[in-house]
Structure 1
């Protein structure tokens, strides 16, 4: 009989290797990422930024299969609070990622809201607070996206609350959940981002368990977090300052998070993501190995 614990599938992602962009000279080459993530003991990965890994399904399938890796999800950034006016541009990008994810056997599409300030420069791109009309557009367009992704590609949309976006705090996450159809829209709970924005992951899982469709496992350094929040530092520079840290040295504690997720008794991916762009290319692998060992000690 399958137990709850065995229904948590642990993976990692290009993000844990310092990869934020399709092509950047400061990032590790994609073959090295695949070699090292497999060598560290992970069997599931995400696509990362579209274009980092091969976008030809046959080639990507071959490259992952030879390393005994499988793909859990693709990722897209969207500005759906802007309403129907951005639909065509959004769908053009989403359909590329979703088609690749479907072709290589993934079942999820992680949707991240667009940033209200530039994650490198800190330049204000728009108001950090949505109007009532923008909240309605965000909810309706996310439902539309989830429906289209499901109907065309058979993928489940999981929306990722994220620092420096409009879906960030406990209040805004709850508002988003209450505004969207639970049959269409689930959450990708990123434990690090939620803590970064003041949220309690265990409480969220216990309160909205039926909406948790996917996990990103991440921790923040509370001392660095206090500094960057006090200074109003944008997310990108905060990462460069080490706000995201190696488990189990930060918050939230991952053992209670995994226990709460296991109590849901549903299949969940739990993908390790430690933001550290940019980083020395030799830094990620030892961290990934230690993190995998730590998660095994937590029963995952």
Structure 2
């Protein structure tokens, strides 16, 4: 089995805090991502959402569309309403060959609020779980029928961020609900990426590779800071520049025949962390970790 290496435009321009890299054109993101050696990009807020427009832009750079974030609100609307809301996004992904949709429930989320600490992350009551899970199953079944599988993104500051919440999610959903394994978000929430990968290897259909600077994470937790303050302080970085053990994680992915994308998704302030420099570092480290783990990379 082989993997492909992709990157998220967060390295250049941030969706949660648009002032970060706000003046950087999409053309620069794509050109430098290709220059750094990546095969594809996830969507960001500067990407056209018409496949007839975006397709030729990506093709001109020799890049594939990897996936794209979708903000779900299943706690406040029905599965039928959610399906109608996501159809344009699904059409874009499907039209340009992406087979996974980054999917996250954002009702009551706090990760986009600079003044709300991560300790205030929302949780779901039993009644909310009972409302959420059947709706998610229905939406996931629909997407899979259309040829694009949901990759549920556990995310700091949302209703599903901890390892225990991932367990509940996986126990209550059908195989149509894939799992996006994000090493940085999981470690940031006190979880173990190796343990989660072992438990849910068959459900993992997308992987985000963001590393953690241990001392910054500790400071964020000790001073009760927000997600965005953590980003600005340098909590996240590209794989190999923090303390997460990617070689061991990739060995487990190889053993489970993972054959999707490995995506560098490291929120940093581009004025501090030079985007092309960190993109190259992330790609070089991913290549090295893959080689050490026996994962074949398709260019």
**TM-score, length basis structure 2:** 0.89
Post-superposition shift, 1:281? 8.7
1:173 alignment counterpart: 166
Q: CA, structure 1 residues 226+123, in 2 after alignment: closer, same or farther (shift >3 Å)?
A: closer
Post-superposition shift, 1:297? 1.4
Equivalent-residue separation in structure 2 for 1:121 and 1:218 (angstroms): 20
Contact 1:187 1:213 in 2 (8 A): yes
Cα displacement string for residues 170-205 of structure 1 (whole angstroms, at most 9, x for unaligned residues): 1111011001112x1010011100000011111111
Equivalent-residue separation in structure 2 for 1:44 and 1:220 (angstroms): 23
Out of 198, 201, 211, the residue aligned to residue 193 of structure 2 is 201
1:12 alignment counterpart: 7
Out of 153, 160, 172, the residue aligned to residue 153 of structure 2 is 160
Post-superposition shift, 1:119? 2.4
2:76 alignment counterpart: 82
Out of 36, 41, 45, the residue aligned to residue 45 of structure 1 is 41
Equivalent-residue separation in structure 2 for 1:169 and 1:92 (angstroms): 29
Equivalent-residue separation in structure 2 for 1:25 and 1:252 (angstroms): 25
Equivalent-residue separation in structure 2 for 1:260 and 1:292 (angstroms): 20
Give the unaligned 5+ runs of structure 2.
Answer: 292-296
Contact 2:213 2:243 in 1 (8 A): yes
Contact 2:123 2:160 in 1 (8 A): no
Number of aligned residue pairs:
288
Contact 1:188 1:216 in 2 (8 A): yes
What is the CA RMSD across the aligned residues, in angstroms?
A: 2.3
Give the unaligned 5+ runs of structure 1.
Answer: none
Deviates more, 1:111-120 or 1:196-205: 111-120
2:67 alignment counterpart: 73
Post-superposition shift, 1:16? 2.2
Residues 1-300 of structure 1 aligned to structure 2 (within 5 Å): 4=1, 7-20=2-15, 26-27=21-22, 28-49=24-45, 52-84=46-78, 88=81, 90-114=82-106, 115-117=108-110, 119-123=112-116, 128-151=122-145, 153-182=146-175, 184-276=176-268, 278-280=269-271, 283-298=274-289, 299=291, 300=297
2:294 alignment counterpart: none
Deviation beyond 3 Å, 4+ runs, structure 1? 21-26, 90-93, 121-124
**TM-score, length basis structure 1:** 0.89
